[in-house]
Structure 1
Amino acid sequence: MLVNLGDITAERSDHANTTAWVADVLRSRIAAGKLPPGTKLSEQQLAASMQVSRNTLREAFAMLSIESVVTRYPNRGVFVASPDAGSVREIYSVRRMLEPAAVQWGPELDLPRLDAVIADARAARSRGLVAEMAAANQDFHQSLVAMSGSVQLQQMMGRVLAEMRLVFHSMRSEPDFHTRYVEENASLVVLLRAGRRAEAAEALRGYLDAAEAELLGHLAP
């Protein structure tokens, strides 16, 4: 399947590093679920749409390949990656180090932002909108890492979430996977609001362990 370029050109802005901008655009599309696993990324189409050289595009592909977001196959081209069990384990190893630390020690707790994400997730659940629930879940975890106040950590989490979106695609036949985590997220906010940050961090570790086990169990067959 070839990539649907949509309104990528509308996102073009003056960017000091064009390669990084191209990688950011593609990564954000993947994180938003607009480029599912297996999508072929056509150099010709993308270079024309984004108004960049094919060399610049190849450099962006190389960056995303290092992040395991895309895969290059000789004589076939570049495709959005399809994570396997090893990828899931690596993703959750990073998340267990990153997210609980931000929850426990991050200086920039933004409860209104977390409340808004929970409200969006509940609204999506009530309407049976699985993709919107998944997007709200992504937003929630990005918001947790934003508590760190670190731009670099937030960028790292953005890369992790792009990979997570590809993993979520494997669960499209299991809509309840996202449903059950809506209230898990809400419970974390209750603990944070009460100032029980160490408990929230510990609960999050257990939450991540359970999610990883469920994903690995789904991928095993």
Structure 2
Amino acid sequence: MQQRYHCGRPEVRRALDRLAQKRLVAHVPNRGYRVYWPDGRQEGEVAEIRILLETGVAGSATAADIRLLEQLVAEFVRLLADGTTLELYEANLAFHHHLLSLCGNQELMALVAEIRQRTRAVPVHQWTTRARIEQSAREHDEMIEAVRQGDGTRLGRCWRVISVSRTANGNITVAAL
């Protein structure tokens, strides 16, 4: 890595340590770093935490907030036609960031961003087909309606808990619960 990226050993170690903090790689003492594979239990528990934290915004939206959420969903839908997966992912993050910003609590927003890093990004494990990306757009509409009605319970049901597991032959399975 030092040769490939033209940097010294300390820089490589700091970068690997930062990736380990984000749970993208795991540090195995005296053996190096390995790609981190979270288990289904952790994925489900992180999803539960996010639901508990993020559903509190349901009753705090103004008409202007809802219009902005609708504009962000429209941009996401526009990108379905000609955008890249990265652009869709960024549009998805913008939607969820604004949704969460309705709580007005910067520490909560930072906590959710940190928790979100403990699992794999949406394109990696949820957006495996175009139909699933289109479903995400419909789920955004459902979230807006829940926020409009001030219904935290309904907002919580909008998030799907994803179960990710590895079969005996090494294949990865993803299931919405």
| Alignment TM-score, normalising by the size of structure 1 | 0.58
TM-score normalised by the chain length of structure 2: 0.70
Which deviations, in whole Å up to 9, do the C-alpha atoms of 1:179-208 show, x marking residues without a partner?
A: 11202212332454xx4112xx22221121
Question: Which secondary structure does the structure 1 equivalent of 2:56 belong to?
Answer: helix
RMSD, aligned α-carbons: 3.5
Q: Is the 8 A contact 2:47 2:161 kept in 1?
A: yes
Shift of 1:123: 0.9
Which residue identity does 1:196 align to in structure 2?
Answer: Q
Distance 1:106 1:55, change over 3 A: farther
Alignment counterpart, residue 150 of structure 2, candidates 185, 188, 197: 197
Larger fraction in helix: 1
Name the structure 2 match of 1:206: 157
Unmatched 5+ stretches in structure 2: 166-172
Structure (1 or 2) with the greater strand fraction: 2
Aligned length: 166
CA contact (8 A) 1:47 1:54 kept: no
**Is 2:135 the counterpart of 1:180?**
yes
For 2:149, give the aligned amino acid. R
Distance 1:196 1:43, change over 3 A: farther
Letter in structure 1 aligned against 2:174:
L
Equivalents in 2 of 1:58, 1:128: separation in Å? 31
Q: Distance in 2 between matches of 1:139 and 1:61?
A: 23
Q: 1:76-98: per-residue Cα shift (whole Å, max 9, x none)?
A: 53355333212211221111101
How far 1:121 sits from its partner (Å)? 0.6
Q: Which amino acid aligns with 2:72?
A: V
**Which is bigger in relative contact order (C-alpha 8 A, separation at least 6)?**
2
1:101 aligned onto 2:101 = no
Q: Secondary structure at the match of 2:117?
A: helix
* Cα offset, 1:112, TM superposition: 4.4
Percent of aligned positions with the same letter in both sequences?
A: 19
